[in-house]
Amino acid sequence: MNSGTGARSGRPTLPDALHDGERLWLPEEAAQFLRVPRSLVMELVRRNRLPAVRVGRRIRFNKQDLIAWAAKGGAGPARGDGPS
Protein backbone atom coordinates (compact mmCIF):
# COMPACT_ATOMS: atom_id res chain seq x y z
CA MET A 1 0.00 0.00 0.00
CA ASN A 2 1.24 3.47 -0.85
CA SER A 3 1.74 5.99 1.93
CA GLY A 4 3.51 9.30 2.18
CA THR A 5 3.60 11.95 -0.47
CA GLY A 6 2.69 11.23 -4.07
CA ALA A 7 5.89 10.99 -6.12
CA ARG A 8 4.64 13.05 -9.04
CA SER A 9 2.37 15.63 -7.45
CA GLY A 10 3.87 16.25 -4.02
CA ARG A 11 0.32 15.91 -2.65
CA PRO A 12 -0.52 13.55 0.21
CA THR A 13 -1.75 10.12 -0.75
CA LEU A 14 -4.95 8.52 0.50
CA PRO A 15 -3.62 6.84 3.69
CA ASP A 16 -2.13 10.15 4.89
CA ALA A 17 -5.38 11.97 4.21
CA LEU A 18 -7.37 9.59 6.41
CA HIS A 19 -5.27 10.18 9.53
CA ASP A 20 -8.28 11.40 11.51
CA GLY A 21 -10.65 8.60 10.45
CA GLU A 22 -13.15 11.00 8.86
CA ARG A 23 -14.39 10.71 5.32
CA LEU A 24 -12.87 12.93 2.67
CA TRP A 25 -14.87 15.91 1.45
CA LEU A 26 -15.97 16.66 -2.09
CA PRO A 27 -14.89 19.98 -3.66
CA GLU A 28 -18.40 21.34 -3.11
CA GLU A 29 -18.21 20.52 0.61
CA ALA A 30 -14.78 22.12 0.93
CA ALA A 31 -16.08 25.25 -0.82
CA GLN A 32 -19.08 25.43 1.48
CA PHE A 33 -16.85 24.98 4.55
CA LEU A 34 -14.47 27.72 3.37
CA ARG A 35 -17.37 29.91 2.18
CA VAL A 36 -15.91 30.40 -1.26
CA PRO A 37 -17.04 29.35 -4.75
CA ARG A 38 -16.20 25.82 -5.91
CA SER A 39 -14.31 27.36 -8.83
CA LEU A 40 -11.92 29.09 -6.40
CA VAL A 41 -11.32 25.83 -4.53
CA MET A 42 -10.45 24.08 -7.78
CA GLU A 43 -8.19 26.94 -8.90
CA LEU A 44 -6.30 26.85 -5.58
CA VAL A 45 -5.85 23.09 -5.95
CA ARG A 46 -4.64 23.54 -9.53
CA ARG A 47 -2.07 26.07 -8.29
CA ASN A 48 -1.13 23.72 -5.44
CA ARG A 49 -2.16 26.36 -2.88
CA LEU A 50 -4.83 24.32 -1.06
CA PRO A 51 -4.19 20.91 0.55
CA ALA A 52 -6.00 18.25 -1.45
CA VAL A 53 -5.89 14.51 -2.04
CA ARG A 54 -6.18 12.81 -5.40
CA VAL A 55 -8.24 9.63 -5.49
CA GLY A 56 -7.66 8.52 -9.04
CA ARG A 57 -8.67 11.54 -11.11
CA ARG A 58 -10.90 12.94 -8.40
CA ILE A 59 -10.00 15.63 -5.86
CA ARG A 60 -10.94 15.22 -2.21
CA PHE A 61 -10.22 17.19 0.96
CA ASN A 62 -9.41 16.32 4.55
CA LYS A 63 -11.28 18.52 7.03
CA GLN A 64 -8.34 18.83 9.44
CA ASP A 65 -6.00 19.88 6.61
CA LEU A 66 -8.45 22.60 5.56
CA ILE A 67 -8.79 23.83 9.15
CA ALA A 68 -4.99 24.01 9.52
CA TRP A 69 -4.67 25.78 6.15
CA ALA A 70 -7.34 28.34 7.09
CA ALA A 71 -5.77 28.87 10.55
CA LYS A 72 -2.56 29.91 8.79
CA GLY A 73 -4.55 32.52 6.91
CA GLY A 74 -4.95 30.40 3.82
CA ALA A 75 -1.64 31.69 2.54
CA GLY A 76 1.35 29.85 1.22
CA PRO A 77 1.78 26.53 -0.51
CA ALA A 78 -0.20 23.47 0.47
CA ARG A 79 1.53 21.31 3.06
CA GLY A 80 4.86 19.87 2.09
CA ASP A 81 5.18 22.02 -1.02
CA GLY A 82 7.09 25.02 0.31
CA PRO A 83 10.77 25.81 -0.01
CA SER A 84 13.15 23.61 1.95
Residue 37 lies inside a defined structural domain of this protein: yes
pTM here is 0.67
Residue 84 lies inside a defined structural domain of this protein: no
Residue 82 lies inside a defined structural domain of this protein: no
Residue 58 lies inside a defined structural domain of this protein: yes
Q: Can you give the pLDDT at residue 16?
A: 56
With residues binned 3-state (H G I as helix, E B as strand, rest as coil), the percentages for the chain, rounded to 5, are 35, 10, 50
Residue 41 lies inside a defined structural domain of this protein: yes
With beta carbons less than 8 A apart as the criterion, state whether 81 and 10 touch: yes
To the nearest whole percent, how much of the chain has pLDDT over 70?
Answer: 63
Which residue type does 40 have? Answer: L
Overall average pLDDT of the 55-81 stretch: 84
57-61: which pairs have CB atoms within 8 A and are 24 or more residues apart?
59/27, 60/17, 60/24, 60/25, 60/26, 61/24, 61/25, 61/26, 61/27, 61/29, 61/30
Residue 55 lies inside a defined structural domain of this protein: yes
**pLDDT above 50: residue 3:** no
Question: Which range of residues forms the domain containing residue 47?
Answer: 14-71
Per the structure, the count of domains in the chain is: 1
pLDDT in tens, 5-14: 554 556 655 5
pLDDT in tens, 14-46: 555 555 567 999 999 999 999 999 999 999 999
